[in-house]
A and B are shown apart, each in its own frame.
Chain A
Amino acid sequence: MAAVIPAPWRRWLPWALGVLGVLAALGLQTQLYSGQVRTVATIFMFVALALSWNLIGGYTGYASFGQVVFFGLGGYFAAVTMTHLHWSFWLALPLAGLAAAAYAALIGVPLLRLRGHYFAIATLGVAEGTREIVINLDGLTGGGGGITVPTVGAAAATKYLGNDGFYLVYLVLAVLALLVTGLVSRSKFGFAMRAIHQDEDAAAAVGINTTRTKVLTYALSGLLTGLVGATYAFQQVTIYPERLFDVEITVLMVVMVVIGGSGTVLGPIIGAVALQFLSEWLRQNYTTVHTLLLGAIIIIAVVLLPQGLVNYLREARRNRDYSLLANVRRYRL
Chain B
Amino acid sequence: MSAVPVLETRGLGIRFGGLKAVDDVSLSVPEGLTLGVIGPNGAGKSTFINLVTGHLKPTSGSVLVDGKDVTGAKPWVIAQSRVARTFQIVKPFRGMTVRENVAVGVLYGPDGTGRMSTALKQADEILGEVGIADLGDRPPGELSVADARRLEFAKALALKPRLLLLDEVMAGLRPGEIEPSLQLIRDLKARGMTIIVVEHVMKAILAVSDQVLVLNAGQRLMLGPPREVLSDPQVIEAYLGHKYATRQAQQSEAAAAAEAAEAAEAAAGEAATASAPHCHQREARNPTPTPRPALSMRRWHQMLEVKNVSAGYGRVQVLWDVDLTVAANEIVALVGPNGAGKTTLLRALSGMVPIREGSVSFLGQDITGRSIERIVDLGISHVPEGRRLFPGLSVKDNLRLGGWRNRNADLDRVIELFPKLGDRLSQVTGSMSGGEQQMCAIARGLMGKPDLIMIDELSLGLAPVVVEEIIGRLADIAASGTAVLLVEQDVDAALTVAERAYVMETGRVVMSGNAGELLADPRIQQSYLGIA
Interface residues of A (CB under 8 A from B): 186-188, 191-192, 194-195, 197-199, 201-211, 263, 318
Known A194-B93, A194-B95: A204·B104 in contact at CB below 8 Å: no
In the complex, chain A residues whose CB is within 8 Å of the CB of B55: 201, 204-205
CB-contact partner of A205 in B75, B110, B112, under 8 A: B75
CA distance A197 to B96 in the complex (A): 11
CA distance A204 to B75 in the complex (A): 5
User: Are B104 and A205 touching (Cβ within 8 A)?
Assistant: no
User: Are B103 and A199 touching (Cβ within 8 A)?
Assistant: no
Chain B 92-120 per-residue mask, 1 if CB under 8 angstroms from chain A, else 0: 11111000100111011110101010010
CB-contact partner of A201 in B91, B92, B108, under 8 A: B91
Known A204-B79, A205-B53: A194·B96 in contact at CB below 8 Å: yes
| B84 interface hit (Cβ, 8 Å) | yes
CB distance from B151 to the nearest CB of A (A): 11
Helix, strand, loop or mixed for chain A's interface? Answer: helix
In the complex, chain B residues whose CB is within 8 Å of the CB of A187: 116
Q: Which of B55-111 contact A (CB under 8 A)?
A: 55, 74-76, 79-80, 84-85, 87, 91-96, 100, 103-105, 107-110
User: Are B108 and A205 touching (Cβ within 8 A)?
Assistant: no
CA distance A208 to B107 in the complex (A): 9
User: Are A205 and B87 touching (Cβ within 8 A)?
Assistant: yes
In the complex, chain A residues whose CB is within 8 Å of the CB of B139: 318
Known A191-B103, A195-B104, A201-B87: A207·B80 in contact at CB below 8 Å: yes
Known A188-B114, A207-B76, A207-B108: A197·B95 in contact at CB below 8 Å: yes
CB distance from B332 to the nearest CB of A (A): 32
A-B interface contact total, Cβ < 8 Å: 84
Interface residues of B (CB under 8 A from A): 53-55, 74-76, 79-80, 84-85, 87, 91-96, 100, 103-105, 107-110, 112, 114, 116, 119, 139, 155-156, 158-159
User: Are B93 and A207 touching (Cβ within 8 A)?
Assistant: no
User: Are B100 and A191 touching (Cβ within 8 A)?
Assistant: yes
CA distance A296 to B290 in the complex (A): 69
User: Are B112 and A198 touching (Cβ within 8 A)?
Assistant: no
Chain A residue at minimum C-beta to C-beta distance from B85: A205
User: Are B108 and A192 touching (Cβ within 8 A)?
Assistant: yes
CB-contact partner of B109 in A191, A199, A206, under 8 A: A206
CB distance from A264 to the nearest CB of B (A): 9
In the complex, chain B residues whose CB is within 8 Å of the CB of A186: 116
User: Are A207 and B74 touching (Cβ within 8 A)?
Assistant: no
User: Are B76 and A202 touching (Cβ within 8 A)?
Assistant: no
In the complex, chain B residues whose CB is within 8 Å of the CB of A204: 54-55, 74-76, 79
User: Are B116 and A205 touching (Cβ within 8 A)?
Assistant: no
CA distance A119 to B93 in the complex (A): 22
CA distance A209 to B75 in the complex (A): 8
CB distance from A115 to the nearest CB of B (A): 15
User: Are A202 and B112 touching (Cβ within 8 A)?
Assistant: no
With contacts A187-B116, A195-B93, A263-B95 known, what are 20 further pairs, Cβ within 8 A?
Answer: A191-B107, A192-B107, A194-B95, A194-B96, A195-B96, A199-B93, A201-B55, A203-B104, A204-B55, A204-B75, A204-B76, A205-B53, A205-B76, A205-B79, A205-B85, A206-B109, A207-B110, A207-B112, A208-B76, A211-B74
CA distance A210 to B85 in the complex (A): 17
Chain A residue at minimum C-beta to C-beta distance from B102: A206
Q: What are some 10 contacts across the A-B interface (CB < 8 A)?
A: A188-B107, A188-B119, A191-B96, A192-B107, A199-B91, A201-B75, A202-B91, A205-B55, A207-B110, A209-B76
In the complex, chain A residues whose CB is within 8 Å of the CB of B103: 191
Chain A residue at minimum C-beta to C-beta distance from B86: A205
In the complex, chain B residues whose CB is within 8 Å of the CB of A188: 107-108, 114, 116, 119
In the complex, chain A residues whose CB is within 8 Å of the CB of B92: 198, 202
In the complex, chain B residues whose CB is within 8 Å of the CB of A195: 93, 96, 104
CA distance A203 to B74 in the complex (A): 12
CB distance from A101 to the nearest CB of B (A): 23
In the complex, chain B residues whose CB is within 8 Å of the CB of A202: 87, 91-93, 155
Known A197-B95, A198-B92, A201-B75: A206·B104 in contact at CB below 8 Å: yes
CB distance from B50 to the nearest CB of A (A): 9
CA distance A187 to B104 in the complex (A): 10
Known A206-B155, A206-B158: A192·B76 in contact at CB below 8 Å: no
In the complex, chain B residues whose CB is within 8 Å of the CB of A192: 104, 107-108
CA distance A204 to B159 in the complex (A): 12
CA distance A188 to B113 in the complex (A): 9
In the complex, chain A residues whose CB is within 8 Å of the CB of B156: 205
In the complex, chain B residues whose CB is within 8 Å of the CB of A211: 74
CA distance A204 to B155 in the complex (A): 12
CA distance A318 to B138 in the complex (A): 11
